[in-house]
A and B are shown apart, each in its own frame.
Chain A
């Protein structure tokens, strides 16, 4: 599949994301925040970083970047979209996913190998995992605490839209939620970084690769 990775001013993990996409056997296409052009891709990845310097709120300015018009339309049309870290924040600010991400409860930037449990494999990005499977990937953020009102949290749980949960709770996220999906399962937001865990040499293992090999493996 052709997977577009959007670069915003302040994106950090766009190169790693493109590399992970290629590693999983897909073609990586660099997309630019200022273009109203998805270059014919089949899926979109919003990478981690500090788009627009995290000014105002994380992801708040990126949401209005020209390319996001097309991303939002494509997401609503069913195209697989994965937002990692800052990308997750952008998806929440764009209202493609419910809730918001606020500063870690311990107020420190966390950078660690984090254990997660996959809670749903009925998404475009997690279908290669088993439900209940434990994976270890990198978590690195200052504002990764997932919050939503109780009704939204209950809805996410009831509809199977909690995609991954932390083992332990490294940042005060409500119900230890690390990642969620939209109702259709094509849009996924994840705070930790699977793209940093695709090779044994330079990460905590290869547990993150499944997010990228899931693409195209199942129609959701």
Chain B
């Protein structure tokens, strides 16, 4: 069993209204000095068996085809355990 994390973030040039909403809420709670907030998604995948190069390539494919939309988002795959 291996755990693979896929982080998905809106591309830098894409407006992130959710991040903007969080940014706007922070000073209202007294938190100051935050210049920007971008909100993304984190997927934790538990992979059966040994994590071979082929399996990892498959995770990349999952990230590209389903977990992210390459038109508006970037993703990063990391093996954590």
B 41-67 to A, binary, CB cutoff 8 A, 1 in contact else 0: 000000000000000000000000011
What total count of A-B pairs have CB within 8 Å?
Answer: 36
Contact of A147 with B69 in the complex, beta carbons under 8 Å: no
Min CB distance B11 to A, Å, is 9
> What separation, in Å, do the CA atoms of A102 and B71 have in the docked complex?
11
Contact of B72 with A145 in the complex, beta carbons under 8 Å: no
Min CB distance A154 to B, Å, is 15
Contact of A145 with B15 in the complex, beta carbons under 8 Å: yes
Chain A residue at minimum C-beta to C-beta distance from B70: A100
B27 within 8 A of A: no
Contact of B66 with A147 in the complex, beta carbons under 8 Å: no
> What separation, in Å, do the CA atoms of A57 and B66 have in the docked complex?
9
> What separation, in Å, do the CA atoms of A220 and B67 have in the docked complex?
35
Stretch at the interface among A16-24, A103-111, A132-140, A157-165: A103-111
> What separation, in Å, do the CA atoms of A145 and B71 have in the docked complex?
13
A1 within 8 A of B: no
Binding site for A on B (CB under 8 A): 10, 14-15, 17-18, 20-21, 66-67, 69, 71-72
Binding site for B on A (CB under 8 A): 56-57, 60, 64, 92-93, 98-100, 102-107, 145, 147-149, 172
Inter-chain pairs besides A102-B17, A107-B21, 13 sampled, C-beta below 8 Å? A57-B69, A60-B69, A64-B66, A92-B71, A93-B69, A98-B71, A100-B71, A100-B72, A103-B17, A105-B15, A107-B17, A147-B14, A147-B72
A-B contact pairs, 29 of them (CB 8 A): A56-B66, A56-B67, A57-B69, A60-B66, A60-B69, A92-B71, A99-B71, A100-B69, A100-B71, A100-B72, A102-B14, A102-B17, A102-B72, A103-B17, A103-B18, A104-B17, A105-B15, A106-B17, A107-B17, A107-B18, A107-B20, A107-B21, A145-B15, A147-B14, A147-B15, A147-B71, A147-B72, A148-B71, A172-B15
